[in-house]
Amino acid sequence: MALITLDIGAAFTRIQVASEPILTVASEAAYDLDHKSVKVIGAKAPEEVLRSGSKTKLVKIMRQGAPADPEAVSGFLKQALRSVGVRSFARSEVLFAATTHASQLDTASLKRCIEGLNAKPVIPLETPIAATAGIDEDVLGEVGTMTVVLGESLIEAGIVSFGKLAARATSATGVSSFRNAIRESVKTTCDLVISDEVANDILTQLIDFQRTHSGAQAKIWGRSLANGESESGVIAEDTIYAAILPSLDLVTQTVINCIAQAPNQLVTDVADRGVWLLGGGAHLSGLAGELERRLGVEVHAIPDPELAVIRGLSVIHASNPSKIYW
């Protein structure tokens, strides 16, 4: 029986078949409205929608841990598996990351999407447990390990001890929240409408969370609110930082809320050992250092933090002979 592990996120989906390399594909699909099927997945999906016009629509397959469109999710996974040479889920065991932000109904809905492709068994595993295994920590150990996964649309904090999720906190605040704040700031300050791509460039190239008063500025291009024409404007780093500060505060508060739920001994463990910042948001410049300053505990960074969850799923499966998780 082949093992397939899945980390289906709002921005990217990661798939690993047995010990093969991890496949990363954008979590969107061009959906054929006439045939009710997925035509193209990943980065090429928007191009297909532009080419096909009204016959297709662009579908983001996940929304805050829940399937946005079950049919699209199933079609997306079929195509993703074919791209790595897997023709069917049949005779496959599937282990997937289930965000603690989603309801039990949402998790069950995602599970049914996968089961509908003939996979059996299909096993959900809480994201913080997978994340803990993905940073080479002992999931079954008594010492508490705290991870913070900052993804596209969610932040998920958890403390794992004795193989259980001892404390957790989530918020619908992710990297997209920072980009949206930047777009609104540019609209107000420069009377320009900018794309998500431009907002992301500002976030990743202009902003350093530990350098908030450098006086840096950037020239940007967008569409004028007055006439719709392409125009340029200048935005200051301080202005952008002020705009994204509420989102940063929510990230911090989510971590604090998680710690507040933990027993005293686990709080001591976190104080002694620190916090691991994971997910795509961990790449934001200076974020780990700023959280460390705010929380008063060490915040660790690892290589490829966005892969911690998918790697952890395989680790859990391999080191779980007694099947304590399912």
pLDDT single digits (tens) 262-283: 999 999 999 999 999 999 999 9
Report how far residue 107's alpha carbon sits from residue 92's, in angstroms, rounded to the nearest whole number.
Answer: 19
Judge whether residue 325 has pLDDT over 70: no
pTM of the model: 0.93
Q: Give Cα 253 distance to the centre of its chain.
A: 18
Report how far residue 58's alpha carbon sits from residue 281's, in angstroms, rounded to the nearest whole number.
Answer: 24
Which amino acid is it at 278? L
DSSP 251: H
The per-residue pLDDT for 322 is 57
Q: What percent of the chain has pLDDT over 90?
A: 75
Closest CA to 283 of 158, 150, 169: 150
**Cα angle value 313/317/321 (rounded, 5°):** 155
Report how far residue 135's alpha carbon sits from residue 165's, in angstroms, rounded to the nearest whole number.
Answer: 16
Judge whether residue 21 has pLDDT over 80: yes
Residue partners of 156: CB distance under 8 A and separation at least 6: 99, 100, 101, 127, 128, 148, 149, 168, 169, 170
The answer to whether 161 touches 128, Cβ cutoff 8 Å, is no
The per-residue pLDDT for 139 is 85
Q: Is 170 helix (H, G, I), strand (E, B) or coil?
A: strand
Judge whether residue 230 has pLDDT over 90: yes
Weakest mean pLDDT among 47-51, 209-213, 236-240: 209-213
The per-residue pLDDT for 170 is 96
Q: What percent of the chain has pLDDT over 70?
A: 97
Provide mean pLDDT across the span 86-100. Answer: 87
